[in-house]
Structure 1
Amino acid sequence: MPQPKNAMEIFRHLDKSNCRECSEKTCLAFAGAVFTGQRKLDECPQLDRETIERFSGESENQTAVEPERGEYLQYLKNETANLDLAAAAQRIGARFSDGKLMLKILGKSFSVDTKGNLYADIHINPWVVIPFLNYVLYAQGLPVTGNWISLRELQDGRERYPLFKRRCEDPMKRVADVYTGLFDDMVHILSGKQVEKQFESDIAVVLYPLPKVPVMICYWSPEDGFESSLNIFFDQITDKNLDINSVFTLSLGLTQMFQKIARRHGFPEDM
């Protein structure tokens, strides 16, 4: 099937029940988010795999909106090329030198130059690029407060939370349940730090995907007949420094990294 020309072409393939299980208000809103590259077609719980693959004409890890996502990325690069990078670096807690703005993402150096070209110490993961550029362009640069809140309390976060829980918190908890060394590896591999027990959790780790966008992961072990639980928290100024879609993208990327760390230690692919 050819690439969709507009959101209505995607909408025709949805069941139009407006079930909201994808966290969008309507199926049409979901179709629009898919078309613009903010969501993936397989995030609709009502669509079976055969329909998704037939619609996209691509593999499970790709979608029919890659050209649109590429266009959005190019737009962000163009906007960055028109930005005063020295002033932006001061605003967001980055460093500017030799025509490049550089900051640390999970302990690794990422840079962008005055032409919008990207550089990194390691492979530039897709889940990092768009949040990184959005942060450079639009972060207000407000300092971290140390007051932690859930995604539901961020702007536009309440409607996103059901999908966030299903795609980020639940898979991360499954890893933590089996892989007891996960949090130690997070600290050492991802330049995080363990902190005093937060919200009476058994383990709390703070990571810095972006300088002014910390993420705290709290894990409660199973005890006295209660199941384990895991929640992800954000500083209360997060939505002033990063849009909710980028927050979701970073969280999903972190979840995938945790799963990869576990697999390196011999844990199953479906973890």
Structure 2
Amino acid sequence: MPAPKNAMEVFQLLDKSNCRECGEKTCLAFAGAVFRGQKNIAECPRLDRSTVERFSPEPAGQNPIEENREAFMAEMKAKIAGIDFASAAERTGGRFENGRLTLKVMGKDFSVDTRGNLHSDIHINPWVAAPFFDYVLNGKGVAPAGQWVSFRELKNGKDRYPLFQKRCEEAMQRVADSYTDLFDDVVHLFSGRQVERQFQSDISVVLHPLPKVPLMICYWRPDAGFGSSLNIFFDATADQNLDIGSVFSLGAGLAQMFHKLALRHGFAEVT
């Protein structure tokens, strides 16, 4: 049988008792874990065998991301010279002035000139630079829809999700577990905003690594014998403005940035 189309499809199969026998805090949390590939639907003790068999997931694929970042960057830099910067500014939500296209990246100015040289108020590193070029050159300029989805739901994200989960979500979760004030600092440092609780999480933070590619980080604190958990959600339009490899780079880069932020605040035990 085909895999469920979304977490709510799984949720509708459950008895909504929030019994916690599956190891999750709520039936909704369990449904999300099943859809993301973190849980098998058979772990719900209250489902009948026929339902379990219909919706048991196929084995997760192993499809490591192959990147040649240097070659990619050189190619993108060469292509920049041929674009209409004024049009690109309108499409990407940036501004074009003094020979530079400038976008807001995590609330900070990040620019490229007509020769492909990058300029920024923040440290320029590959996790920002590669998605930035991809966004400027290939993004369709689709405005966010306000619908949050997991990396797995984006185009070509399903096969890459196990690696995204390890390199991005789990890595960020380890930081959040050790650095409990992380999200408050992120909000203040990077123009993020806290939103009403989403998916029954304890903390939800929305960041804008690119103007039209927002992401939401949802963190559940440890509680009553249950471990913490963290999930990253993207606007459903993210795969129209970025290649899935660039979306992955944003997630992995944020995890690295949060790790460095924690170390800067003295949390040397974060690994």
Give yes or no for the alignment of 1:79 onto 2:79: yes
Q: Is the 8 A contact 2:92 2:212 kept in 1?
A: yes
Give the letter for the 2:237 counterpart: I
Q: Which residue of 1 aligns with 2:258?
A: 258
Gaps of 5+ in 1: 1-19, 25-29, 38-68
Alignment-derived partner of residue 192 in structure 1: 192
The secondary structure found in structure 1 opposite 2:216 is strand
Q: Match of 1:23?
A: 62
* Distance in 2 of aligned mates of 1:119 and 1:220: 36
Is the 1:21–1:163 contact (alpha carbons within 8 Å) kept by the matching residues of 2?
A: no
Structure 1 residue 21 displacement after superposition: 8.0
The TM-score normalised by the length of structure 2 is: 0.75
Distance 1:177 1:269 in 2: 11
* More deviation, 91-100/148-157: 91-100
Q: Is the 8 A contact 2:145 2:236 kept in 1?
A: yes
Deviation at 1:22, TM superposition (A): 8.3
Partner of 2:218 in structure 1? 218
Name the amino acid aligned to 1:256.
Answer: Q
2:117 matched to which residue of 1? 117
Question: Structure 2 unaligned runs (5+)?
Answer: 1-58
SS at match of 1:157: coil
Does the Cα contact within 8 Å between 2:175 and 2:270 map onto a contact in 1?
no
Distance 1:186 1:242 in 2: 23
1:237 aligns with 2:237: yes
What one-letter code is carried by the residue in structure 2 that aligns with 1:113? D
Distance 1:252 1:263, change over 3 A: same
- Answer whether contact 1:22 1:163 (CA < 8 A) is retained: no
Deviation at 1:157, TM superposition (A): 0.5
> Matches of 1:227 and 1:118 in 2, distance apart?
42
Matched position secondary structure for 2:159:
helix
Structure 1 segments of 4+ aligned residues over 6 angstroms from their partners: none
Which position in structure 1 is the counterpart of 2:172? 172
Contact preservation (8 Å) 1:194, 1:203:
yes
- Measure the CA separation in 1 of the matches of 2:61 and 2:191: 32
Summarize deviations over 1:140-180 as a string: whole Å, max 9, x none: 11111111000000001011110111111111111111211
Once the 2 structures are TM-superposed, how far is the Cα of residue 237 of structure 1 from its aligned partner? 0.3
Q: Is the partner of 2:71 in helix, strand or coil? A: helix
Aligned-pair distance for 1:190? 1.6
How far 1:123 sits from its partner (Å)?
Answer: 2.4
Return the alpha-carbon distance in structure 1 between the equivalents of residues 216 and 141 of structure 2: 19
What SS does the corresponding residue of 1:78 show, helix, strand or coil?
A: helix
AA aligned to 1:110 is: F
> How far is the alpha carbon of 1:268 from its aligned partner?
2.0
TM-score with structure 1 length normalisation? Answer: 0.75
2:248 corresponds in structure 1 to 248
Distance in 2 separating the partners of 1:22 and 1:181: 36
The letter for the 1-side match of 2:173 is K
